[in-house]
Amino acid sequence: MDLIIPPKMYMNYGYDGLLWKASKVLPKDIVRLDLNSMKFIRPEAIILLIILSAELFNRVTEPVEWINIDNEVLLYLDRMEIGNLDFIRLPPIRKQFRWKKADKASINLTELHIVKRPKDCEDVMKRTKEMIIKWFPDKVGEDYCRLIPTLITEIAGNSLEHSADSCGGICYFVAQKYVTTKATQIVVAFGDPGMGIQNSLKKSNSWIAKDDLYAIKKAFNEGASCRSDRSGGLGFQQVKSVLQKYGGEVIIRSGKGVLTYNPKDSTKTKSFRESLSGTQTAFIL
């Protein structure tokens, strides 16, 4: 079965039709994700496609092929090392497209990080700090270089906790720098294929986990934690604090709910028909 990927895909836009089609995949199907319409892909879309491919792989037990990929997009995926995942099969890159531009551009994005244990969080923190110093050598102080990697570690740790019961605990992470005429931005994206925020909170807070969107609000606004001793829950609280200080935006989706927060605007929420596996988070700094 071929699943057509829309030209633009975000956690709060363009993804639900794909999820509906993916729900029709049968265990005997050969699955291919057709990226022909995508000429530009952001980190959060990468995470979404990785999580979807992992879910489909578990259903059909064969690697999911990504086909009809634009050469620029394929180079982007290659620099992120997406092809190292055993449940995804990418087409080979033709030699004439392996130019110096690929090496130069790689300093603007991280490779894919797979977090399975606390030690992996430390590696992600170290790598992210290195990249931030390279991205903002003259503009970012020590405080910023310390806050952002710590923040990323908190979110990765949350993802491990949310996914532990269903898939052994795993989180995927990528980040990229975007330079425009107005500003330089960092886009950071996380994803885990686990139980989601609602089911995670049910462990100790069943009364506040009545649906996905309500659970996301509680986790983000009040730091609700899945731990019985009420510790934890600091990841999203730190995201909010950093955005208030430095500006930016965060999007959190789990199950059928999505929350978008920007300190310059009102918090936006929405519920969807289709349920997303696990929890995905993207923030723009």
pLDDT tens for each residue of 176-222: 888 777 777 888 898 888 888 888 777 666 666 678 898 888 888 77
- Give me the helix-helix angle, 234-246 and 212-222, nearest 10°: 60
Q: Which domain holds residue 98?
A: 2-284
If DSSP codes are grouped into helix, strand and coil, which group holds residue 282?
strand
| CA dihedral sign of residues 110, 226, 119, 52 | negative
- Most confident range (mean pLDDT) of 55-59, 147-151, 161-165 is 55-59
pLDDT of residue 226: 54
Of residues 31 and 128, the one with the higher pLDDT is 31
Q: Which two tokens stand for residue 137?
A: 């050598």
If DSSP codes are grouped into helix, strand and coil, which group holds residue 241?
helix
How distant is the alpha carbon of residue 104 from its chain centre? 24
β-bridge partners, 115: 171
Mean pLDDT of 251-266: 90
* Range of lowest pLDDT (90-99, 135-144, 169-178, 184-193): 135-144
Of residues 224 and 166, the one with the higher pLDDT is 224
If DSSP codes are grouped into helix, strand and coil, which group holds residue 71?
helix
- Amino acid identity for residue 207 in this structure: W
Q: Whole-prediction pTM value?
A: 0.87
- Tokens 């059928």 belong to 256
- Tokens 């950093």 belong to 242
Mean pLDDT of 163-180: 74
CB-side neighbour CA atoms (13 Å) of 7: 2
For residue 164, which of 189, 195, 190 has the smallest C-alpha distance?
Answer: 195
210-212-213 Cα angle (round to 5): 100
Q: What percent of the chain has pLDDT over 90?
A: 27
How distant is the alpha carbon of residue 21 from its chain centre? 21
Domain count, the chain: 1
* Range of lowest pLDDT (40-49, 128-137, 235-244): 128-137
Q: Which two tokens stand for residue 255?
A: 């199950």
Per-residue pLDDT band at 108 (split at 50, 70, 90): confident
Q: What percent of the chain has pLDDT over 70?
A: 81
Q: For residue 125, what is the domain's CATH number?
A: 3.30.565.10
Question: Could you tell me if 16 and 272 are in contact, meaning their C-beta atoms sit under 8 angstroms apart?
Answer: yes
Whole-number average pLDDT of the chain: 81
Question: Edge-to-edge, what's the strand order for the sheet holding 249-261?
Answer: 113-115, 171-179, 184-192, 268-284, 249-261
Per-residue pLDDT band at 147 (split at 50, 70, 90): confident
| CA dihedral sign of residues 80, 242, 160, 119 | positive
